[in-house]
Amino acid sequence: MKALILVGGFGTRLRPLTLSMPKPLVEFGNKPMILHQIEALKDAGVTEAVLAINHQQPEVMLNFVKEYEKKLEIKITFSQETEPLGTAGLLALARDMLVDESGKPFFVLNSDVICEYPLLEMIEFHKTHGAEASIMVTKGVVVTEEATERVESFVEKPLHFVGNKINAGIYLLNPSVLDRIELRRTSIEKEIFPKIASEKMLYAMVLPGFWMDIGQPKDYIRGQRLYLDSLRKKSSQELVIRDHIIGNVVVDESVVMGEGCLIGPDVVIGPGCVIGSGVRLFNCTVMRGVTVKEHACVSDSILGWDSTVGKWARVFNVTVLGKGVHVADAEVYNSGDVIQEMVI
């Protein structure tokens, strides 16, 4: 099987992090966002993942592909647009990469989505219902016939309430769907799915477990909490249990931590970080190479790579520090501050 991952956005909602790193490579749970999806696709039997990128994706994406093709033993290729084509136009552009003589369906995933990725169950759902297109939904805008799970109508971002399910951004499509798409700027959600639904060939599988679009800071932080809770239930060995840890916490083994800290709940600390004595961290992400000095407090925020939080400083309420930012001793940042320059 093959899959297409839509990674072409510019990540403006997740700035300043995306000023230093393409959004798909921003870490979530201590690994690049897109790696969660590629690993899930590999486990579901996908042998080739096509990344739909825009013409401004930097060299770092190529380096990522080289590294993880070898590690995961999965082929990773690019389909690069030279002008905006929309979610359906990108499929038309990648047609020759997605279709082969086997005629098997292929996955399409939005790279912002984090969940438990029940892709094997989706394959079985697709076969059982004889669907041309299957979409994953979560508790929205998709109206289904409850007895058959067939989609009666598909309305993307309606002005009025029309249903109780939300498009989760994960699709399984037969190659015939590509025959419906012209190579131009086209939306699969607004133009293609409504037509397939009208022909009673679009089905919706309700996503079990958690789901979150983590494309903006507040949702990233909320998604991390849901992800850590899922780890506790399914892979609890990845969580750290120590006297000074509360709740669900992931700490890279290279982290240096001082005495008297209180960490958690819902914290991820990346490699190479230094956490000073008496530090309080909860509901936050501390990315690679960050230093949090003595008695600082960080909550509900994201500390970008190689940033520093000074002694007794306070960073909270969905504040995001960009790469290399320095918060001075006893400084306070809150209420959604986005810091992308050095603060002395």
| Per-residue pLDDT at 284 | 97
Query: pLDDT grade, residue 340 (50/70/90)?
Result: low
Position 58 scores a pLDDT of: 59
The percentage of residues in the chain with a pLDDT greater than 90, rounded to a whole number, is: 50
Which range among 98-102, 277-281, 301-305 shows the weakest confidence by mean pLDDT? 98-102
pTM equals 0.85
Q: Is position 287 within any domain? A: yes
Query: In the predicted model, is pLDDT for residue 229 greater than 60?
Result: yes
pLDDT at 5 over 70: yes
Q: Looking at the predicted structure, is the pLDDT value of residue 49 above 80?
A: yes
CATH number at residue 171: 3.90.550.10
Local confidence band at 106 (pLDDT 50, 70, 90 cut-offs): very high
Asked if 56 contacts 30 with a C-beta cutoff of 8 angstroms, the reply is no
HSE (side-chain half, CA atoms, 13 Å) at 271: 3
Return the pLDDT at 36: 93
Do 17 and 158 lie in one domain? The reply is yes
Average pLDDT score over residue span 324-340: 77
Of 188, 213, 238, at which residue does a domain stop? 213
Q: Tell how far CA 84 is from the center of its chain.
A: 21
CB 181 within 8 A of CB 153: no
Give mean pLDDT, residues 31-56: 89
Mean pLDDT, to the nearest integer, of 296-303? 95
Residues 49 and 188 in one domain: yes
Give yes or no for residue 144 having a pLDDT over 60. no
Binned at pLDDT 50, 70 and 90, residue 142 comes out as very low
Mean pLDDT for the stretch of residues 157-176 = 70
pLDDT score at 55: 60
Q: Provide the pLDDT for residue 13.
A: 75
Provide mean pLDDT across the span 4-17.
Answer: 79
The predicted-structure confidence for 190-210, as pLDDT tens digits, reads as follows 889 889 988 899 998 988 888
Check residue 39 and give its pLDDT.
94
Work out the average pLDDT over 145-168: 54
Last residue of a domain, one of 213, 244, 275: 213
pLDDT at 152: 53
- Closest-CA residue to 53 (of 106, 107, 14, 11): 11
Q: Are residues 200 and 255 in the same domain?
A: no
Query: What is the per-residue pLDDT for 12?
Result: 73
Give the mean pLDDT of 108-123: 93
Instruction: Please compute the mean of the pLDDT values over residues 42-69 and round it to a whole number.
Output: 82
Same domain, 268 and 206: no
Mean pLDDT across 228-249 = 90
Position 344 scores a pLDDT of: 39
- Closest C-alpha to 182, from 98, 101, 85: 85
The crossing angle, in degrees rounded to 10, of helices 119-129 and 33-43 is 50
Nearest to 187 by CA among 150, 156, 212, 153: 156
CA distances in angstroms from 318 to 11, 15, 59, 64, 332, listed in the order given? 17, 12, 30, 28, 13
Per the domain annotation, does 40 fall within a domain? yes
- Stretch 3-14: mean pLDDT: 79
Residue 60 has pLDDT above 90, yes or no: no
Tell me, what's the pLDDT at 157?
Answer: 44
Domain count, the chain: 2
Q: Does residue 38 sit in the same domain as residue 86?
A: yes
Q: Which of 89-103, 215-229, 260-274 is the least confident region?
A: 89-103
CATH number at residue 247: 2.160.10
Residue 75 forms part of a structural domain: yes
Interval 158-182 mean pLDDT = 76
- Residues of the domain holding 180: 2-213
| Of the listed ranges 71-80, 147-156, 202-211, the one predicted with least confidence | 147-156
pLDDT at residue 343 in the model: 44
Same domain, 44 and 175: yes
Query: Of residues 297 and 148, which shows the higher confidence score?
Result: 297
